[in-house]
Structure 1
C-alpha cells in the first residue's frame, strides 16, 4: 500500500491548521478527554528525531502541590522579567497574560533524556543539540494534533528548568525543554496575542528564504 494522496481540500485545511495553531493562554477549566489526549501524544511520538533516538519524555503534572510549586516559580520568574524593563514597558508587561497555569486542566512537562541509548548516538556526535531539537519536533506534532481536535496549547517558558525538574523529581539526565498547558480555549483568535495586545507590531515579513 502506497502513501495517501493529499488533495487540495486537505492542503487547504492543513494550511488553516498551521495558521490557527496559536499559543493559548486562556483556558476553560473543564477536563480534557483522556482518549483525545492520548491520540495527541501518539502523534507526538511520530515526530522525527536524530538517529531515531526518540528522546522526549512527557510528564503529566497532576499533583496539586507540584502544580502550585510550578505556578509559584512562574510568578517569581515573571516578576523578575518585569523588573528588567523600564517603568512604562514593565507596566505593559504586567498586563499581559503569559500563562494559563491556574486554569488549564492538563499540564505536560516535556523533557529531553540526554542519557538515552536509543539510536546509539547516531547523527549527534558533531551536533549534540539535535537531541533537544528532536523534542521540539515532538512538541510541535503534539500541538498540531491537539489544535486539530479543538484543544489549545500554551508553551510556558518563564520558568527555571532546574527548579521545575526538582519539583517533578525527574532523573538527573532529563532536561526540561517545554512546559505545556493544555485545554479548551476560552476564545479563538487568528492573530498572535502579543500583537493583539500591542506588545509588538504585526509581523508582515512572511516567510524569508536566504540564498548563498
Structure 2
C-alpha cells in the first residue's frame, strides 16, 4: 500500500496504490488507512499505539460473546460431545426431521381447531388448541409445503433457495458511470460546513476515470 500527497492546500492525493484488486483506484484499504491516520491525528498521537496482549487488557470472562452467536435452523445444527467415546459418533447428532404425512401441510380441516373443539374445556382439549391455529393466519411456503406464518416449521425449514445462476446473454450492457449529462439539482439546504467538513466533502469527490475503474472491477 502506498499513498502520496501533493504539497498544496487543501492536501490532495497524488498517488494511491494497493496490492488488492481495486488497487489501481482508491480502494477501501487506502480509505481505511486515511481514516485511521486522521483518527490518530485527532488524538494527538505521535506514533501508532502498540497492540496490547490479552493479559494487559481487561478480562472479558464476565461479558457474553453474543456477537459470535447467530440464530440458525435446527437442520444445520450438529450436537457433538467434547470427548467422543466412539468413532461412529464423531460427526455428531443431526436433525432427522422429515415430512411424516402425505399431502400439503397443514390440512384444511386442521385449521378449524376452534370450531371442532369449542365444546371442550381447557383441561381435556388437545395441545393443538393452544397453538393459535386459525384460517385468518396466512400460509407461507416451507420445505414440507404450505404452513402457517410464524410457526416453527416456517422459519426452521424455509423453502430452500436455488443456487443456480441464470445468465442472460442478450442482456444490454450496463451504462457507463457516471451517466453522461446527469447533473445534481441545486440543493435548498442552508447548512454551512466547517472547514474540516468542507475538506471531507471534497475528499469524496471522484473523477470520471476513477469511477469507471471502480465500476469495471
Normalising by structure 2, report the TM-score: 0.20
Q: Could you say which structure has the higher helix fraction?
A: 1
Higher CA-based Rg: 2
